[in-house]
Amino acid sequence: MELLKEAKKYLVGGVNSPVRAFKSVGCEPIFLVRAKGSKVYDLEGKEYIDYLGSWGVALLGHAPEEVVEKVKEEAKKGLSFGLTNPYEVKLAKEVVEAIPSVDKVRFVNSGTEATMSAIRLARGVKGRKFVVKFEGCYHGHYDSLLVSAGSGVATFGLPGTAGIPEEVARLTLVLPYNDTNALKEAFERYGEDIACAIVEPIAGNMGVVIPDLEFLKELRKLTQECGALLIFDEVITGFRVSLSGAQGLFKIEPDLTTLGKVLGGGFPVGAYGGREKIMKELAPEGSIYQAGTLSGNPIAMVAGYYTLLKVKEERPYQKLHERTKELAEGILSITKERGIPSTVNYATSMLTLFFTDEEVRDYESAKRSDLKLFAKFFKNLLEEGVLIPPSQFEAWFISTAHTKEDLERTLEKVERAIKRL
């Protein structure tokens, strides 16, 4: 509490990202000072089994030895060069080999930079201005994407926060997720003016929401028919749900892909990539400009490279799926036994417990969850020593470091937390 008081003197709200303030769960934030494997430790030494995973970064668990050692070696050589280094090439090669739709890649420093740059590229290539996005999908805090739905089935966006001019928001068409009819209507009305559509192929920012395969297939078909580009935002799902991301699971190839989180191995990294004929429109080969002083930072590139090597070596996805399913089914069994309205959505190493009996397949159904009940559950679970995201509308993450014992202990703690509701 003393550190929080000090933080609020110098940081806005005491944090550097709003959700860290724990406001939606009605309690004070914790300060973490150490993390290893499946555990994190707060300022007072309390241990938590961690399902936040640095918001999806820690696929291999926290501070995997091989990655940490390689980072130490590289740090001794220099922290930043400002020119190209060999590990940029090595990591780019790994990305291209893993994701069939990507011929070339450009590294940036965050998921927001990746989506912002991908949309600029799409608009530049197509010479069109409108963007299609889906309600409940978060693509970073870029003005054109931080918008909310207008009224009606297929309408242009409204500013989602102060500071975004209405004229900018209206360049984005916001549609309901998993609604194929709305897709058809939007592309029929605006198709020739649409530069691109951007979507989370598995949503992770309204909680985990699984796409209808027909919805994604129709989106791919409609974008091709009207000459727009399809962008898969795989900042969360890239390398997490499979080595080739959600597009590998669903066998649907987008025109552009955005990446982050797992890709950085714990350091700030984003990327976007696609077919060579599109990517060559970027400077210095083409006329569409994007740059960054710390893009391709050697420390971040080393961390990402050795993380992907480890993932390729272990191919952990079946094991992750089994662990996630076990946790999801165990939680649902506990809540149902207590008569608490609930549903659990999961995909490979991601899951969300929603406090609603309704199937959650879009943002509207997600919003009908009992948020007050979630806040109580979060606080109870935190007291039990389990850390989950401090928001109903975020994914929990399983790592390769989570053991069978971790899951058993977690379910015991979930049961106690649920009983106290």
What pLDDT, in 10s, does the model give residues 73-82? Answer: 999 999 999 9
Per-residue pLDDT tens for 194-218?
999 999 999 999 999 999 999 999 9
Residue 152 scores a pLDDT above 70:
no
Residue burial 78-111, b: 16+ Cβ < 10 Å; e: rest: eeeeeeebebbebbbebbeebbebbebbbbbbbb
At which of 314, 348, 379 does a domain end? 314
Residue identified by tokens 């703690």 is 413
For 5-56, what is the HEC assignment?
HHHHHHCHHHCCCHHHHCHHHCCCCCCEEEEEECEEEECCCCEEEECCHHHH
User: Which residue in 314, 323, 317, 361 sits closest to 136, CA to CA?
Assistant: 361
Q: Which of 51, 138, 272, 305 is catalytic?
A: 138
| Same domain for 345 and 230 | no
Q: Which of 233, 255, 362, 406 is catalytic?
A: 233
CATH number at residue 140: 3.40.640.10
Q: Residue 188 CB: number of other CB atoms within 10 A?
A: 11
At which of 296, 314, 332 does a domain end? 314
Identify the pLDDT of residue 156.
Answer: 66
If DSSP codes are grouped into helix, strand and coil, which group holds residue 148? strand
Q: Which of 261, 272, 305, 413 is catalytic?
A: 261
Identify the pLDDT of residue 105.
Answer: 98
Q: Using pLDDT thresholds of 50, 70 and 90, give the confidence band for residue 153.
A: very low
Tokens describing residue 64: 């995997």
The domain total for the chain is 2
Active site residue 261: yes
Neighbour-count burial of 393, counting CB atoms closer than 10 A to its CB (0-12 exposed, 13-18 middle, 19+ buried): buried
CATH number at residue 352: 3.90.1150.10
| Same domain for 148 and 171 | yes
**Residue span of the structural domain in which 85 resides:** 65-314
| Same domain for 334 and 246 | no
| Same domain for 183 and 75 | yes
| Same domain for 361 and 297 | no
At which of 314, 330, 355 does a domain end? 314
Active site residue 233: yes
| Same domain for 371 and 307 | no
| Same domain for 397 and 307 | no
| Same domain for 90 and 112 | yes
